[in-house]
Amino acid sequence: MAFRTLSLAALLALGLGAAGCGGSSASSGRDVAPPEARLSALNAQDARLARVSWRLMRANADLCPATLPRAGWALQSAAQYGPELRPLAEQRFGLRGDLPGVLTAPDDSPAQRAGLAPGDVILSANDQPMAEGVSQRQESYDGLQANLDRLDRVVASGPARLSVGRGDTTRTLTLIPVPACAYTTQIVIQRSLRGNVGRGLIQITTGMAGLARNDDELAFVVAHELAHAVLEHVSGPATPGQRGARTDALTLRRGPHATMEADADRLGLYLLARAGYDPAAAVVVLDRYSAQDLFAAWPQIDPRGRVYAPSAERRAALAAALDDIAARRAGNRDLIP
């Protein structure tokens, strides 16, 4: 799965319609840091999101309405960075132009099993060359996107033969993809505490990612958005892919409706538990979020008519779901609500 990392300018240029979660835009704050530290922080958040997302997408493929063969990697390019960070990224990862470079290959992903690691640059896939593009000063995601689309098509068709460069050496690797939910995850550089899901795309702000202090907590943030996708709460064209084998086992209501935020909270717990994360972390994240969002204690209705329950009600609903998960585990029953 190609977990894309974008500059803020590129994200804004997308103009994507998405179903936002999180109520008001409470801020988590941001410190000014030197370029090297900022690059390290951004890379760490991207890699962390990719790692958590891969486990969720892989473990819940049977419930997703759209799945595809995926690699699990997080890819980036030099061109997506602005003039301040680009030289640092080129030096750190060996990036060149629009060529897709590996930011991370999560544990137990096809990318890792193929031998890919941070600092590798993908030169071709099944003899289809990746385009390096023309050097330009301003950041651009277009060239990398074209290469990612090419890679996605190759990987979706089965085993991929990759020509991979690292420094002055080139080697050939075989990547064998596995089915996973067909949703890309991205970090959005914003201080607000928000997550969004659109057609095939889950976005988490840097503020929200920073609120989640460990992988279990971040897993709930991502799983909540994935639950919206699983329950097909997003309007518009369906995400391309093959339907998971057990999607019909879910009893929760599908399609957009007023109380779908509560359903996403509930299903999100099961999705993260199925991926091996601690579902109790959801309560910790909710409490921390509620402490920063002055409006979380009261019910809210967004312009599209969706209801956000007050934090105390959300907490009680999470507790009930946690009890059900514990009972299902004790009885060796499926974690499918």
Q: Are 209 and 221 in contact (CB under 8 A)?
A: yes
Residue 5: what pLDDT? 44
Are 195 and 286 contained in the same domain? yes
Residue 26: what pLDDT? 41
CB atoms inside a 10 Å sphere around CB 102: 24
Residue 25: what pLDDT? 39
Domain count, the chain: 2
Are 323 and 278 contained in the same domain? yes
Are 193 and 165 contained in the same domain? no
pLDDT in tens, 303-322: 766 777 788 999 999 999 99
Task: Locate 238 and state its tokens.
Answer: 């369906």
Are 279 and 146 contained in the same domain? no
**Domain containing residue 169: CATH number:** 2.30.42.10
Q: Are 119 and 100 in contact (CB under 8 A)?
A: no
- Sequential DSSP letters for 70-116: E---EEE-STTS-TTTHHHHHHHH---TT--EEEE--TTSHHHHHT-
Element (H, E) at 163: strand 160-166
Query: Among the three residues 176, 195, 215, which one is the final residue of a domain in this structure?
Result: 176
State which residues of the chain have pLDDT below 50.
1-20, 22-30
Residue 21: what pLDDT? 52
Residue 18: what pLDDT? 34
- Sequential DSSP letters for 248-302: GG--SPPS--TTHHHHHHHHHHHHHHHTT--TTHHHHHHHHHHHH-TTTTS-EE-
Q: Are 103 and 5 in contact (CB under 8 A)?
A: yes
**Collapsed DSSP state (helix, strand, coil) of residue 188:** strand
Residue 31: what pLDDT? 54
